[in-house]
Amino acid sequence: MADLPSHARVVIIGGGAVGVSALYHLAKAGWTDCVLLEKNELTSGSTWHAAGNVPTFSSSWSLMNMQRYSATLYRGLADEVGYPMNYHVTGSLRLAHGKERMREFQRAKGMGRYQGMAIDVVGPDEIKARYPFIETHDLAGALYDPNDGDIDPAQLTQALAKGARDMGQKIVRFCPVTGVKRDKDEWVISTAQGDIRSEYVVNAAGYRAQEVGKLFGRDVPMMVMSHQYILFEEIPELAAWTKEQGKKLPLLRDVDTSYYLRQEKTGMNLGPYERNCRAHWVGHNDPMPDDFSFQLFPDDLDRLEHYLNDAIARVPILGTAGLSKVINGPIPYAPDGNPLIGPMPGVPNAFEACVFTFGIAQAGGAGKVLAEWVTQGQTEWDMWSCDPRRFTAFASDKDYCVAKGLEIYGNEYAISFPRHAWPAGRNQKLSPIHDRMTALGAQFNAYNGWERATWYAIPGDDTSEESTQTFDRAGPWEPRIREECLAVRDATGILDLPGFSRFRLQGSGARDWLSSLITGIVPKPGRIGLGYFADEQGRIVTEMSIMALDEDFFFLITAAVAQSHDFEWLAKNFPQDHEMTLMDVTEKFSCQILSGPKSREILAEVTDADLTKPWLTHQSCQIAGRWLQLVRVSFAGELGWELHTKVEDTPAIFDAVWAAGQKHGLKPFGMFALDSLRIEKGYRAWKGDLSTDYSILQGGLERFVKWDKPAFAGHAALLNEKQQGVAKQFVTLTLDDPGPCDAPTMSTLWHDGKIVGETTSGGWGYRVDKSIALGMLRADLTVPGTKVEVEIFGDRFVATVQPDKPLWDPENLRLRA
């Protein structure tokens, strides 16, 4: 057992597959003076009882990247570090029972092809050819992944550990962490073996991550599920087939029923994700033990009976096998099922690499991503799907985490439909006029916990959850979205938009400091403008609206989901010696968007504000005797204003505007309509069109770059890119003859049989009556009129590159009216 050093550059807390992978990848990055601390023995948490499946499939671009990297790493790891491993690359069949699942598989196939993987979609005959023991009579097809398989989790962890040690890293086992503190810009980590100081620290404590997080004053949003899988004894027919073929069966997943079935030597391993699942360690009567190393929960086979019967019907030879062993162990879940990888919110020089539901499949990629975060302050791929800052304080509530964890586990293989909203853990944060929106027929979804109307139903509309489980454009919402968009075009619409993230910046030097962070100019007092923040590589970090109240007094407004991310970006770059204050005032304000050609007439009836002030101005005024900030902007692309109000004044102001608007045709509209309206204008959405996967110039944002101002973050990289020429660039495409679905994010773009780009947004534009895709296209093909193809669920549709102007109101005449 290694002695505890007095100092390390990085200390990692937790010795499962993910923590050891982080140690290994830090060494690969050249940081070889790091230490990993493990409470017990390596793998003693969830790693030791993990099934060890290594899929590359995901409906998330970033998770697919991470899992693809893991699979590639594992194939060569044994030879690289000199540690033999049992890694079986068997391929897998992911079964589809119907049309929507086949569409999901076609999308995954397109994404996988773009990433260089040979994922394919096959029919029932090929399923049977690859898996002779299966019943296929009720199947539509399957996704075949030749790189899927399984690995021994303990051997994987030990191989990574050996590789890390060989490069100089230290691993100290049986060394629980008992406390942490900051001292002179370093962490002092107290353990059972003494103290160790470090520059950086990583919480990789798996299902104990919340316990470790509390040492840092951090409430990690997570809970712990009980996951069971069953091992079966030898099946003679399977043993004979394996001997004859010299290989194992592909790993089988019946995702519509919700289980995997894997060959284990000459027997089988059945792992269901059951709807009637169970959480552990959630209350005073069921506390987490001080030590649960290498332990399991009692068997609970009654929960699995339905899945066992279904698996036997699907693969009848399973019914001839005796049960050998049941594994029932803890696995952690975040509220959305994705891991936490990245900066620990609110804590300097601290990171998280924890709460992995599929830790073995993701460990390799997670180590790579974590090492990039620590050593470079940024990652190669945009990893917002796993960034701990995607959650804010409400998500750490225990009841919320348990409700979402149970929901995610019971729907582990569920399809992510564009109009579907999961029902558990809702109504965390409500608009001050939520009751009014509900009365008008609002259907809601949560945005950083805030309930926002997505569309407005009328009596007789199907508002069931089942109705939303489709990729089709058409649905009960479709005629209502059209009506909402046309009301904004022809009269006026109002959208309740609670939860805008809002930061108050004030003090001497605030303007100059902001200018050093954004690529463009800081607006003058009384004006509002967009500010784009780049990293040192010139990539898009975020977009904020900058409202200048005075020379050195600003409100910075950004997306609801960006609250923690954007505030931390500002705080990280905040100068030490300054006279400025920066405050998060999100909870104090609300907002409505009033947009459409009648909006000026409506406002004229309720306020004496100067409604002739031009676009991109703002003013303080009153409605119904209450103060508000009236801002002349419109994300909907029509004449309009944003009404920024104090939370307590919002109902009175809304009621006055709503009453005045009735004779002018005022209608409520929701987030689905807003998405359609903004796509017609080519307005970018955060973490879709705007992400660190793209540079400011690739994003078509050069008009927001002020080249001749003093240096700003990313200036040198962007100037070099401008001189060299961008490789791909943002475009608007219209589909010439669209099918029943609009293009999802990361749909592949083709030209002359070659992949030439990807979509970043897609939807129907109801003012132009076309299917639209925003995306990134190879630069030489961005000439207006060029024909390309958009791959949507396996089919290719001809699309035309549009001029670099909005499709709707290209000269912004309506917006400026």
For tokens 């947004």, name the residue.
Answer: 761
For residue 496, give both structure tokens: 């309740």
CA separation (Å) from 108 to 56, 60, 64, 128, 144? 10, 9, 9, 22, 11
Question: What pLDDT is attached to residue 721?
Answer: 97
Pairing of strands 251-254, 87-88: unpaired
**How many whole angstroms separate alpha carbon 30 and alpha carbon 23?**
11
Do β-strands 640-646 and 450-456 pair in parallel, antiparallel, or remain unpaired?
Answer: unpaired
Helix, strand, coil percent content, the chain, rounded in steps of 5:
30, 30, 40
**DSSP secondary-structure letter at 321?**
S
- Per DSSP, the three-state class of 245 is helix
Look up residue 469 and give its two tokens.
């489980």
* Spatial separation of the C-alpha atoms in residues 222 and 203, rounded to whole Å: 13
pLDDT of residue 658: 98
CB-based contact 676:487 (threshold 8 Å):
no
Q: Which helix (H) or strand (E) holds 557?
A: strand 553-558
Q: Please give the pLDDT value at position 576.
A: 85
- Answer whether 425's CB lies under 8 Å from 100's CB: no
Question: What is the C-alpha to C-alpha distance for residues 440 and 668, in angstroms, rounded to an integer?
Answer: 8
Structure token digits, residue 295? 């332990």
Residues of the chain with pLDDT under 70: 1
CB within 8 A of 515, min separation 6: which ones?
521, 522, 709, 710, 712
Long-range contacts of 582-587 (CB under 8 A, 24+ apart): 582/503, 582/504, 582/505, 583/503, 583/504, 584/501, 584/502, 584/503, 585/502, 585/503, 585/504, 586/499, 586/500, 586/501, 586/502, 586/503, 587/647
**pLDDT value for 1:** 58
Instruction: Tell me how far CA of residue 165 lies from CA of 28, 76, 160, in angstroms.
Output: 11, 18, 9
Residue pair 4/190 in contact (Cβ under 8 Å)? The answer is: no
Q: What is the pLDDT of residue 578?
A: 81
Dist CA 218 CA 212 (whole Å): 9
- Amino acid residing at 534: A
Tens of pLDDT, residues 536-592: 999 999 999 999 999 999 999 999 999 999 999 999 999 988 889 999 999 999 999
Alpha-carbon 178 to chain mean position: 32
Residue position matching structure tokens 């927001």: 704
Buried b vs exposed e over 742-777: b needs ≥16 C-beta within 10 Å? bbbbbbbbbbeeeebbbbbbbbbbbbbebbbbbbbb
C-beta separation of 632 from 616 below 8 A: yes
Residue 388 to residue 278: CA distance in whole angstroms: 25
Q: How far apart are CA 135 and CA 144, in angstroms?
A: 17
Cβ contacts of 444 within 8 Å, gap of 6 or more: 421, 426, 437, 451, 452, 453, 454
DSSP codes, 46-63: HHHH---B-----SSHHH
Shortest CA distance to 814 belongs to which of 685, 643, 606, 636? 636
Residue among 134, 1, 29 at smallest CA distance from 368:
29
Whole-angstrom CA distances from 816 to 330, 612, 661, 813 are: 58, 10, 21, 5
pLDDT value, residue 161:
98
